[in-house]
Structure 1
Amino acid sequence: MLDIKMIRQNETEIKRRLATRGVDSRTVDQLLAADQRRRELVVKTENLRQQKNEVSEQIAQAKRNKQTAADEISQMKQVGQQIKQIDEELKMVQSNVQDLASRLPNLPHPSIPIGPDEDSNVEIKKVGTPKKFDFEPKPHWEIGEKLGILDFERGAKVSGSRFLYYVGLGAKLERAVYNFMLDEHEKDGYTEILPPYLVNAASMYGTGQFPKFKEDVFQIQDQDLTLIPTAEVPLTNYYRDEVIPNEKLPVYFTALSPSFRSEAGSAGRDTRGLIRLHQFNKVEMVKYCRPEASYDELEKMTVNAGNILEKLGLPYHIITLSTGDMGFSAAMTHDLEVWIPAQNTYREISSCSNCEDFQARRAHIQYRDENGKLNFVHTLNGSGLAVGRTVAAILENYQNADGTVTVPEALRPYMHGIDLIK
């Protein structure tokens, strides 16, 4: 959440920067008008309370002097009624301010490209060279189905579209991939966490999914619980409403979890294969750090994600997302996109984002600096990686003309020495 005081003091600049994210300036005007009314009511009720205290003292003095205080008592009742009415309005206005503020996205970092969509993203690095096949490369779903390791048909029968079964060496490959990722992140200093897969609304609010993106998730009916769309939610909320000791910073967490997404608005996109599912595994990285370190930490996190792809021998590139393509809570995002031969293009496999203090304000996560002052931490998150998309990239990049798939060398210890899926 953005600091309302900062918005008041920098109205023109805030409107300009939010406009690059598609926010109408009238939305900011509505917020500032509601905030102005809130502050007016606060002053009114404080003045009335002071007046009530003064009248109460007059009544007490009259009683001590055994004098009548009928007028003062009547006045105090009127003031009390006014306070009650103002408090009721103030409660509604404060709720409106909170709701309007919670729907504003984070401010984009001044250095990122400005544009309405993915066409404005900028490539900053390319790693590896796509393999030239001497046969027509097949899509990963066709490879997996022919090998008997991916079963989309029975997944759809049991759960619906965009679900599947991993079978035999398919399940073993998926497990090898995420265990490899977790081990690599541990080497990079991340503490492994096994988080809850159901979280409450306060946690979804803390990371920015609620209230704006409720249609993108699966909620448990009649309960304040939501299936996590990413382990970012429970990992970032680990320190919600807490003060992290300064000496603990930075904190690095990693977790494997399933991710559940309704994929609202994506009808017709990637209807086949592992790219866009309702349930998929993902290894997540989350960091908490001091503000002055967060952009260095973003670069390190991007390197950590890229390290996985390089050790798996998968070509990829890194792009910086434009203002119009970036996630709601992010101030800057680097996407890693892996090469998918059958589509002859790069597809997203990781988003590494610096959210600055946006999530920390929503979740009230602070640290105390050397002078004893409380400050909000900066939070970062990144996929390290989306496991299903990594499996898809392996199947396509390591496919052979005879339909077999070579297992990347880095995964063979996790596959008990198996070097070929056939």
Structure 2
Amino acid sequence: MLQVSYIRDNREQVLERLAVKNFKQPGLVDEIIKLDEQRRSLQISSEDLQSKANASAKQIGELMRTGKKEEAEALKGQTGAWKEDIKKFTEELAAVDEALQQKIVLLPNLPHSSVPKGLTPEENEVVLENGDKPQLPANALPHWELAAKYNLIDFELGVKITGAGFPVYKGKGAKLQRALISFFLDEAEKAGYAEVMLPLLVNEASGFGTGQLPDKEGQMYFVGLDNLYLIPTAEVPITNLYRDVILKADELPVKNCGYTPCFRREAGSYGAHVRGLNRLHQFDKVEIVQVVQPETSYDVLERMSKHVQSLLQKLGLPYRVLRLCGGDMGFASALTYDMETWSAAQQRWLEVSSVSNFETFQSNRLKLRYRNAEGKTQLAHTLNGSALALPRIVATLLENNQTENGIKIPEVLVPYTRFEMID
């Protein structure tokens, strides 16, 4: 959530940056500024009357002690009228505060100055490309056919049990999944992240804190009886560990990682681009999250990006890094890098990670602060990244490593899988 004071003091810059994000309701900015002016005016009037009422109470006591009862009674009448006015101001202030809150939560985060303009994924900026695209034989299979051939994943069984987008992993497919999770967690630990195990359901306050609510209700599974949401990513519970917390400066950076299943509702669509593991409603992911001092957050973002890239390099997967354009960015993000791996059988790039800096957007909602060297509290910056999301990693590993004799397992995973080939 943007800070009202920043919007008020930087109106033109706010409008300019929102335009980069293709925000469709610029008039909201002036509505917020107007409500803020009303709020401050009411607050000043209420505080002025409260000051008069407090001074009057002391004066009444003095008049009563000196026997000036009539004057004291007259002043009591005036004080009573002031208190009625204060009550009205308080009610009006609460209503304006509520209206202001409802407006400001509709504003997305402002994009960083380096974010390119653009509306579609095709306008994202390619930052770098690494690795050689494998050349597969003409009879190479896409991962969904490989999964069936080697009895690794059963998509039809998932439909029977739950519905489309809920695959069943079997045999070496399940072991490969578990191996990747362990590998990603071990690599995160080496990079200084402390592992946490988390609830898979969160309350509304947690969804609001990280910016999923009220923006993404349609993408989240909702348990109505208990008013809880299945998590779309471990980012939500990990970041909410620090909701309403004031950290000490020497506790920063906070670095956490966690593995969870993730749940996302998406509109149904058809075609090869969503077949198999390309788009799921339930999938596994290892997430990394940092809480840092503002002046370090963009250096931290680059280090988090390099951490994700190191995982792809160790798996031997060709990849590229994209800086997302304004129109393709998430609601809460100030700057996002996407990492995509090359699917040799499908002949296209598949997104496997997003790494984002949210600056103070989440921490303002979360009331996540730290005490600086001068002893003053200020909002921290929050960042998160997929390290990594598993479905498309599995898809590209199966496709890119297929041979006539089976599917070769990357060397770094063999200690986890305890087999070198899927055959």
TM-score of the superposition, structure 2-length normalised?
A: 0.95
Within 5 Å, give how 1:305-384 maps onto structure 2: 305-384=308-387
Shift of 1:334: 0.8
Query: Which shows bigger deviation, 169-178 or 334-343?
Result: 334-343
How many Å separate the matches in 1 of 2:54 and 2:315?
72
Count of residue correspondences: 419
* Pick aligned residue for 2:147 from 128, 139, 144: 144
Residue identity matched to 2:125: V
How many Å separate the matches in 1 of 2:392 and 2:122?
22
For 1:222-242, what per-residue CA distance to the aligned partner results, in whole angstroms no more than 9, with x for missing partners? 324221110111111112111
Residue identity matched to 2:408: T
For 1:236-295, what per-residue CA distance to the aligned partner results, in whole angstroms no more than 9, with x for missing partners? 1112111222112212111111111112x4644754211221111000011111111111
Residue identity matched to 1:161: A
Residue identity matched to 2:44: V
Q: Is the 8 A contact 2:219 2:264 kept in 1?
A: yes
How many Å separate the matches in 1 of 2:330 and 2:32?
21
TM-score of the superposition, structure 1-length normalised?
A: 0.95
How many Å separate the matches in 2 of 1:28 and 1:397?
49
* Pick aligned residue for 1:189 from 192, 199, 204: 192
Residue identity matched to 2:9: Q
3-state SS in 1 of match to 2:369: strand
Structure 2 residue 5 is the aligned partner of structure 1 residue 5: yes
Q: Supply the RMSD in Å over aligned alpha carbons.
A: 1.6
How many Å separate the matches in 2 of 1:177 and 1:48?
65
Partner of 1:47: 48
Partner of 2:400: 397
Residue identity matched to 1:179: S
How many Å separate the matches in 2 of 1:239 and 1:283?
19
How many Å separate the matches in 2 of 1:248 and 1:56?
47
Q: 1:278 to 1:49 in 2, by over 3 A?
A: same
How many Å separate the matches in 2 of 1:296 and 1:277?
33
Shift of 1:154: 1.1
Structure 2 residue 297 is the aligned partner of structure 1 residue 294: yes
How many Å separate the matches in 2 of 1:198 and 1:212?
18
Q: Is the 8 A contact 1:162 1:272 kept in 2?
A: no
Residue identity matched to 2:40: R
Residue identity matched to 1:62: L
Residue identity matched to 1:15: L
Residue identity matched to 1:37: Q
How many Å separate the matches in 1 of 2:137 and 2:213?
49
3-state SS in 2 of match to 1:343: coil
Q: Is the 8 A contact 1:301 1:352 kept in 2?
A: yes
Partner of 1:232: 235
Query: Which shows bigger deviation, 156-165 or 137-146?
Result: 137-146
Unaligned runs of 5+ in 2: none
Unaligned runs of 5+ in 1: none
Partner of 2:22: 22
3-state SS in 1 of match to 2:352: strand
Partner of 1:262: 265
Residue identity matched to 1:63: M
Partner of 2:39: 38
3-state SS in 2 of match to 1:282: strand
Shift of 1:178: 0.9
Shift of 1:54: 3.2
Residue identity matched to 2:3: D
Q: Is the 8 A contact 1:353 1:380 kept in 2?
A: yes
Q: Is the 8 A contact 2:215 2:331 kept in 1?
A: no
Query: Which shows bigger deviation, 189-198 or 67-76?
Result: 67-76
Q: Is the 8 A contact 1:354 1:379 kept in 2?
A: yes
Shift of 1:306: 0.9
Partner of 1:219: 222
Q: Is the 8 A contact 1:162 1:271 kept in 2?
A: no
Partner of 1:421: 422
Identity %: 42
Q: Is the 8 A contact 2:136 2:344 kept in 1?
A: no
Q: 1:136 to 1:89 in 2, by over 3 A?
A: farther
Q: Is the 8 A contact 2:355 2:386 kept in 1?
A: yes
